[in-house]
A and B are shown apart, each in its own frame.
Chain A
């Protein structure tokens, strides 16, 4: 069964450093998402992406964050200058279509630890 994959599974970085989290969505999917979950808290929406542009972003997704689909398979989340409060699990998801009737498939997540 096709699945969303994410790398790395765990990333440790120093405050102020840039990190890039990588995701490979399911191959025929066209809509892509990033969510994050701070330890012990809710899963929060960050951004959705379609047709090479951002569809929607949350208040969390400020100028320090960016997303890119650099080729036909990868979908990346970049945090330009990490802060301690960016420590969280980051989940990538993809869906075949964007309608609210469509299910999203999540990856296993990347645990980001900012020291």
Chain B
């Protein structure tokens, strides 16, 4: 499993953009990079994923480095509801049910 390194915590003001970094230097060529978040007292929630190209969806954007050893989750305008622990998890394509491997994640605090 690819190892990940994320800051323990980050803070943001509401309505400001947030860039959440992740290093995954041991990622293999076929691992997709997934981001999930966990709001307080809830199960993990899918945010976004990508392989090589940058990706956008209604929740966030994902910027993937050219060498794929790091990625950045971008929340364009943080709200109080985005306060959560954010996990990046490279996911090995096993050809069958692909497990998610969670690290300690980044706890995002959003303030008014």
CB pair B97–A33 under 8 Å, yes or no, is: yes
CB pair B93–A100 under 8 Å, yes or no, is: yes
Q: A42-B103, A42-B104 are in contact. Are A99 and B98 (CB under 8 A)?
A: yes
Interface of A is mostly: strand
Total residue contacts A-B, CB cutoff 8 A: 79
Interface of B is mostly: loop
CB pair B30–A100 under 8 Å, yes or no, is: yes
CB pair A100–B43 under 8 Å, yes or no, is: no
CB pair B97–A105 under 8 Å, yes or no, is: no
Chain A residues packing against B (C-beta within 8 Å): 4, 31-33, 35, 42-45, 48-50, 55-56, 58, 91, 93, 95, 98-109
Show 24 residue pairs from A and B whose CB-CB distance is below 8 angstroms, ordered by the A residue. A4-B43, A31-B97, A33-B97, A33-B100, A35-B100, A42-B103, A42-B105, A43-B44, A43-B100, A44-B102, A45-B100, A50-B96, A56-B96, A98-B94, A98-B96, A99-B98, A100-B30, A100-B31, A100-B92, A101-B49, A104-B46, A107-B43, A108-B42, A109-B42
